[in-house]
Structure 1
Amino acid sequence: MLDLPDLPREGFVTAQDYVYARLRNAIMVGAVQPESTLTIRGLADCMGISPTPIREALRRLGSERAIELLGNRRISIPGMTPERFEEIVSLRRALEGHAARRALPYVSQVLIDELALIDDRMDGHVRAGDFDALTTSNHAFHRLLYTANPHQQAMPAIESVWLQLGPFQRRVIRDVRQFYLVDRHKEILRALRERDCGALVRAIEDDIRDGIQQAGQLVLAEDRG
């Protein structure tokens, strides 16, 4: 039985946009497993909605490389190989390092305080073992930082990478305590306060390495036996 996380429907959001947002969120937090196969009818039944907005949402998600359209109204979540994983993680480091560097001149103390509050919530999610909330808050932390740059163009590409990593990340997140021994967000906040661009980019790269890269490599090695 498919279990998609709930997502509040705000204001006058169309059915099409709501379906897209809910499916996108489910993939990004890893609620759908890699290599799983879904159907339009199954998704429509799960969400209590007609197939039409499902089809449009899936078309949009396919353009973001979050899913593969197989035909016969079937959809697959792409699997992960060591080569694909290395490519996606390398792209994430490059994109997010660039976005952080470009955002730094626009970061205010008010924004830093907001980031610190999100980081505090993340600490609570780790203690509670609520990894869906941890993933959501982690994305919120990084998104808030990168969009400090009013001219940024990187977020669509960054969120596409998050989508591609989401299903696999659910598999490896159980190892977060083993690898995430240093709170890299604290290092990010320190670099922002000190206006140290080099330290900021290093902290972003270390955050990605500790947050998913090392654990992901371990899981993939175990899969290969």
Structure 2
Amino acid sequence: MIFGVNSETAQPGTRPEGRGALAAYAYQQIRDQLIYCNYQGGERLVLRPLAATLGLSPTPVREALLRLVSEQALALDDRNTACVPLTSRALFLEIHAVRGDLEERISRELVTHITPEQVAILADRHRAFITAYEAADPRGAAIANVVFHSTAASFSRLLLTVGLIRGLWVRMGPIYAATNCLPTINPADADHPHQLMMDAFLRRDADGLVEALRRDFMQARSWLEPLLPD
């Protein structure tokens, strides 16, 4: 469980009762679908089909969509239909840089208390990344990468910072969803940044961890930036 949902599937869970609770439920479900690469930039979220998918009436789903529009996670097209905004290269670089700064902060805090059992969970998430890469599955690799980083963040005690990172992932998820190529570095390599991060966690090596994280961000940039419009 990552950020309160099953990140591999991000499927609707137990539906609450009451209008406000239903709107919050719809908001969380749609937001998680954005984070975990289920929507691409330019995709339209048509109200009634979406409500049917969530098992809800249109009213709470409409409220959730408008909330996401107000947060710039979604936009309205000329027909007033919610859609996933396209991300320019310049905006990607801005998001990528801010996310890097926040994840460095999280990492320096996390390295002080992460347990071997939690590192083992990260290793399991990374194995899913390797499996997708070896199956030549770009979307699966993208999702596995998101899950690895969000799992690490879920172990942090800096809850406000984790919330900010999650807000950035709402915009990053659709970028990863649109990728049609594999990462530029094989995640099975012993010197892959994820592996170096896990090794640094076990050594309680904050500087080594941040160096590995920065390498990972450089690799992600080389993977995604060429796919984006100017």
TM-score when scaled to structure 1?
A: 0.81
Superimposed CA distance per residue, residues 55-97 of structure 1 (whole angstroms, 9 cap, x where no aligned partner): 2221332344311245864112111212111111111111111
Picking from 77, 82, 86, the partner of 1:75 is 82
Superimposed CA distance per residue, residues 200-221 of structure 1 (whole angstroms, 9 cap, x where no aligned partner): 112112212213x11222223x
8 Å CA contact 1:99–1:146 kept in 2: the answer is yes
Match of 2:205 in 1: 196
Match of 2:225 in 1: 217
Tell me the distance in 1 between the aligned counterparts of 2:180 and 2:165.
19
Deviating runs (4+, > 6 A) in structure 1? none
Superimposed CA distance per residue, residues 166-207 of structure 1 (whole angstroms, 9 cap, x where no aligned partner): 11222235142x345652210111111111111111211221
What aligned pairs does 1:35-54 form with structure 2 within 5 A after superposition?
A: 35-54=42-61
Tell me the distance in 1 between the aligned counterparts of 2:120 and 2:9.
29
Shift of the 191–107 alpha-carbon distance from structure 1 to 2, 3 Å rule, reads same
The worse-fitting range, judged by mean Cα deviation, of 73-82 and 141-150 is 141-150
Superimposed CA distance per residue, residues 117-176 of structure 1 (whole angstroms, 9 cap, x where no aligned partner): 221222122223444444444333223323333243211111111111111222235142
8 Å CA contact 1:103–1:147 kept in 2: the answer is no
Picking from 169, 184, 188, the partner of 1:162 is 169
Q: Number of aligned pairs?
A: 216
Tell me the distance in 1 between the aligned counterparts of 2:24 and 2:138.
25
Structure 1: give runs of 5+ residues left out of the alignment: none
Match of 1:31 in 2: 38
Q: CA deviation at 1:29?
A: 3.1
Q: Higher helix fraction: Structure 1 or Structure 2? A: 1
SS at match of 2:181: helix
8 Å CA contact 1:40–1:73 kept in 2: the answer is no
Q: RMSD value over aligned CA atoms?
A: 2.7
> Identity percentage over the alignment?
24
Match of 1:88 in 2: 95
SS at match of 1:106: coil
Match of 2:215 in 1: 206
SS at match of 1:162: helix
8 Å CA contact 2:133–2:182 kept in 1: the answer is no
Structure 2: give runs of 5+ residues left out of the alignment: 1-7
